[in-house]
Chain A
Amino acid sequence: MKAIGRLIALVLVVGVFVLMLTSLPWWWGEAIHGKRLLAHMTASGAVVVGLPLFAVFVFARGPQRGAAWTWIAVTLGTATIASMFVCMLPLLGTASQRTAIGLHGWLGWFFAATLLVGFALRVRAAR
């Protein structure tokens, strides 16, 4: 069980890391396209699948055992996925899509920061 949890965490961390790398041009206002977007979309699959599994895993251990950062990360991750999911539906016009993508960027970076810092602290505490 512990090994599965670690595997899920690893997939999530690697996925988030790739998403961070591929979304770097977002910081200086460039659109992500081409192979970078392809890599971003592929890595997003890891998070879309990995994050609920991670949440289930944390919850299965007992909600009271989950550290605050894990639930903050899960909340931010959910919002990140939701902001892109809305963009994929024929709902938003271009200006609203740009806003949603901007929001997706901010949420995504906060999610990534929370997740990576949280895992780093956990690893440090475990040592």
Chain B
Amino acid sequence: MDRRRFLQQAAIWSFSVPLVAHWPFSLPFSIDSVHAASEDTLRVKVGISKGKDYARLVRQSVGLVGGMSAFVKPGMNVVIKPNIAFDRSPEQAANTHPLVVRALAEMALEAGAAQVRIFDRTCNEPRRCYINSGIQPAIEAMANSKVRCEHIDNRKFVDTTIPQGRVLKRWEIYRDALEADCYINVPVAKHHGLARLTLGLKNSMGVLGGNRGRLHQRLDQNLADLATVIRPQLTVIDATRMLLRNGPSGGRLQDVRIENTVLASADPVAADACATLLFGRDPDQVGSTVAAAAMGLGTLQLNRIQRIEG
């Protein structure tokens, strides 16, 4: 090592280590935090696009945060996790829009994915949800054997310990979600009685087994704990239509606002924070976003988020 190299290294490390330490609650061996801090910018990117062509919106938003090839490498097993929780039609805004899911599947294939799996553990009867949400028909219309819209297979739930969990120490988690090379979380932005809003972090409950209702008793912290093990590489929030009242199941078109917006980010917390703004609320009004930020899982402060509108 020559002198110049030594000085360079010394400068970088002395600059970056205090930054890492400054991150609230980040663990000393948390590789993600070190990695995030040594990026050229501290600002986290969230791509936001508006328009009526939903497939184009998805491409644009993901393009603004680096494009699908930044997340999906050739040969990867990709999981796309939309919200298919309710037996509702697309315009009722209780589930992710089928065109958004389909666009992501197509993009993953274009980036070279070996396999794309799409699933959700629903609240209503699974077959009715898959079909009436429009997601299963949209995926089947692709007629590509690499893309599969699958029903949950109960044999695949794995009892998983959550070492960093503060209140949630273990739960049954779906194997495909844990083993995916690239996990893309695709929530729909909507109202929720207890959580106020359900966005990306809440959408992760769709890969959980067991009696999920119990998680409501400390929902915010449980979701943050869960986010330490279910870590989407990419979060795409569908705000093409937003359910404003009577969520999360909805059912009345009066409660739906057409927003024609799609957000994308590699930072799950920042994505939720930006989606919260669409409802006219501050990001810190959604408890799970706050709890996850407090655990160092992403960025909540808007001045640290670079909202790229396209």
A is bound by B? no
Binding site for A on B (CB under 8 A): none
Binding site for B on A (CB under 8 A): none
